[in-house]
Amino acid sequence: MDSSALELDAVKFAKSAVLNDQKGKYNEAVFYYKEAAQALIYAGMAGSKLENIQDKISEYLDRVEALHTAVQAQSIDPLKSKHQLDLERAYFLVTQAFDDDEKGNVEEAIELYTQAVELCIETANETSDQTLQLKLKQLARQALDRAEGLKDALAKPAAKDRPASAKPSNPVRTFQPLGPDFSLQDKPQPVRPVQSCEPQGQKYTYEEIEVLRKTSKINGIEYVPFMSVDLKERFAFPMPFSDKCGKLALSPKQKAIFSRWVRPDEISNNPIMIFTVSSFSIKQTVVSDCSFVASLAISAAYERRYNKKLITSIIYPQNKKGQPEYNPCGKYMVKLHINGVPRKVIIDDYLPVDHNGELLCSYSSNKNELWVSLIEKAYMKVMGGYDFPGSNSYSVGFEVITVSTVGEPGPSGFQKKSSGDYRCGFCYMEVDFVPAGVYNIIPTTFLPNQEGPFFLDFNSTTPLRVSQLQ
* One domain for residues 302 and 350: yes
CA dihedral sign, ordered 339, 341, 344, 350: positive
Confidence of residue 317 (pLDDT cuts 50, 70, 90): very high
Last residue of a domain, one of 97, 125, 153: 153
Residue 206 covered by a domain: no
User: Which residues fall within 8 angstroms of residue 237, CB to CB, at 6 or more apart?
Assistant: 89, 93, 115, 329, 331
> What's the angle, vertex CA 186, arms to CA 185 and CA 188, rounded to 5?
135
* Residues 22, 112 within the same domain: no
Of 206, 226, 207, the C-alpha closest to 216 is 226
Last residue of a domain, one of 73, 102, 117: 73
So what's the pLDDT on residue 73?
Answer: 65
Full residue range of the structural domain in which residue 441 is found: 393-469
23 and 98 inside one domain: no
- Same domain, residue pair 107 and 235: no
Please check whether residue 193 lies inside any domain of the structure: no
Compute the average pLDDT of residues 86-105. 95
Provide φ and ψ at 461, rounded to 5°.
Answer: -125, -25
Please report the pLDDT score of residue 90 as a whole number: 97
- Residue with the bigger pLDDT between 14 and 402: it is 14
Q: Give 137's pLDDT tier (boundaries 50, 70, 90).
A: very high
Q: Answer yes or no: do 64 and 145 share one domain.
A: no
Instruction: Provide mean pLDDT across the span 56-82.
Output: 82
Q: Has residue 306 been placed in a domain?
A: yes
Encode pLDDT of 193-241 as tens digits: 444 444 444 677 888 888 888 889 999 999 999 999 999 999 999 999 9
372 found inside a domain: yes
- Nearest partner of 56 among 76, 39, 78, 72, judged by Cα: 39
Whether residues 341 and 360 share a domain: the answer is yes
| Model confidence pLDDT, tens digit, residues 293-316 | 888 888 888 888 788 899 999 999
Question: With pLDDT > 70 as the criterion, what percentage of the chain qualifies?
Answer: 71
Average pLDDT of 397-415?
Answer: 34
* 208 within some domain: no
Q: What is the pLDDT of residue 185?
A: 36
Burial of 194 (0-12, 13-18, 19+ CB in 10 A): exposed
Do 242 and 375 fall within a single domain?
A: yes
Q: How confident is the model at residue 35 (pLDDT cuts 50, 70, 90)?
A: confident
370 and 453 both lie in a single domain = no
My answer on whether 304 and 409 are in the same domain is no
Q: What is the pLDDT of residues 238-276, one digit of tens each?
A: 999 999 999 999 999 999 999 999 999 999 999 999 988
Do 247 and 339 belong to one domain? yes
Q: How far is CA 136 from the centre of its chain?
A: 29
Count other C-beta atoms under 10 Å from residue 213's C-beta: 12
Residue 25 resides in a domain: yes
**In angstroms, rounded to a whole number, what is the distance separating the alpha carbons of residues 462 and 19?**
29
Does residue 279 sit in the same domain as residue 352? Answer: yes
Looking at residue 56, which CATH number applies to its domain?
A: 1.20.58.80
Q: Is residue 439 part of a domain?
A: yes
- Helix residue ranges per DSSP H, 243-370: 252-257, 290-306
Pairwise CA distance, residues 244 & 253, whole Å: 25
Flag whether 198 is in a domain.
Answer: no
Name the average pLDDT for the chain.
77
Other beta carbons within 10 Å of 12: 14
Share of the chain above pLDDT 90, in %: 46
Catalytic residue among 120, 290, 361, 427: 290
Residues 110 and 69 in one domain: no
Give how many domains the chain has, as a whole number.
Answer: 4
Please report, for the domain that includes residue 458, its CATH number.
2.60.120.380
Last residue of a domain, one of 383, 409, 429: 383
Backbone angles phi, psi at 256, to 5 degrees: -65, -25
290 is catalytic: yes
